[in-house]
């Protein structure tokens, strides 16, 4: 399967849509799931809670998160094959976790000013301003966009710092190739485990451990 590395605009769309739908879930589960679980050796099968579908360097990926991402992306109508979409969702969740961990390791930060400049610029060619959009969107605050945009920019900075993207003016295809190469490196270095129910959804080029649900 060809690996997908989302560009900033595509990633922002997914992050923003997903954020609006699953913020209530992630705000609860992430606060309670900061502990990590060390993966066992490759010849052993580790047990996890039923609501955990994967471990990425010991950090949990939750079933509810998978389901929410699936529902949001399925609602776009862009995916005809449900199983293919499941593979894509699992890949995005694993890739995003690996990227997030590397961003923290490298201490990459983004200022509020950088984020505001980006999403205000996105409205320059629109009939209404960003402020109008927020005003006409009940329950939506600027802080929502501020947070997700900062995360998206951090991801771009990660690739700029660690590939030739930050040094050369590349064609889109060349930039995608550079990003894919670096992401593949991160994936190969990571310890990844996937629950047996979801194991058939793992991209074929990923080396993972099989996890099973605990019996209580």
Digit-coded pLDDT (tens) for 25-59: 433 433 344 344 444 444 567 888 889 999 999 99
- Locate all alpha helices (DSSP H) within 122-195, ordered by sequence: 130-135, 142-162, 172-189
What number of other Cβ atoms are within 10 A of residue 143's Cβ? 9
Domain assignment present for residue 52? The answer is yes
Domain assignment present for residue 54? The answer is yes
Write down the pTM of the prediction.
0.77
Burial 52-67 (b: 16+ CB within 10 A, else e): bbbbbbebbbbbebbe
- Locate all alpha helices (DSSP H) within 3-81, ordered by sequence: 8-32, 63-74
Domain assignment present for residue 109? The answer is yes
Domain assignment present for residue 1? The answer is no
Percent residues over pLDDT 90 in the chain: 40
Between 205 and 45, the more confident residue is 205
Domain assignment present for residue 134? The answer is yes
Residue 83 pLDDT: 94
Give the range of the structural domain holding residue 45, as residue numbers without chain letter: 8-206
Total number of domains constituting the chain:
1
pLDDT tops 50 at residue 153: yes
Domain assignment present for residue 178? The answer is yes
Domain assignment present for residue 3? The answer is no
Domain assignment present for residue 118? The answer is yes
Highest mean pLDDT, choosing among 73-77, 95-99, 138-142, 148-152:
95-99
What number of other Cβ atoms are within 10 A of residue 165's Cβ? 18
Residue 132 pLDDT: 85
CATH of the domain at 161: 1.10.4030.10
Order of strands, sheet of 59-62, starting from the edge strand that comes earlier in the sequence:
46-48, 209-213, 192-195, 52-56, 59-62
Residue 16 pLDDT: 54
Q: Please give the Cα distance from 82 to 80 (Å, whole number).
A: 6
């Amino acid at each position: 399967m060809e690996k997908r590395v989302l560009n900033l605009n595509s990633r922002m769309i997914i992050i923003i849509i997903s954020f609006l739908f699953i913020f209530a879930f992630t705000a609860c589960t992430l606060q309670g799931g900061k502990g990590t679980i060390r993966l066992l050796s490759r010849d052993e099968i580790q047990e996890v809670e039923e609501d955990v579908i994967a471990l990425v360097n010991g950090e949990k990926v939750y079933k509810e998160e998978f389901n929410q991402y699936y529902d949001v992306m399925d609602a776009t109508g862009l995916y005809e094959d449900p199983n293919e979409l499941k593979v894509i969702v699992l890949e995005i969740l694993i890739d995003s976790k690996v990227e997030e961990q590397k961003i923290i390791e490298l201490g990459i930060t983004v200022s509020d000013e950088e984020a505001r400049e980006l999403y205000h610029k996105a409205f320059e060619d629109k009939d209404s301003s960003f402020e109008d959009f927020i005003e006409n969107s009940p329950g939506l605050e600027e802080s929502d966009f501020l947070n997700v945009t900062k995360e998206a920019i951090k991801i771009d900075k990660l690739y700029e710092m660690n590939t030739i993207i930050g040094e050369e003016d590349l064609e889109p295809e060349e930039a995608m190739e550079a990003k894919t190469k670096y992401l593949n490196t991160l994936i190969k270095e990571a310890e990844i485990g996937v629950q047996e129910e979801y194991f058939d959804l793992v991209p074929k080029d990923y080396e993972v451990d099989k996890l099973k649900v605990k019996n209580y």
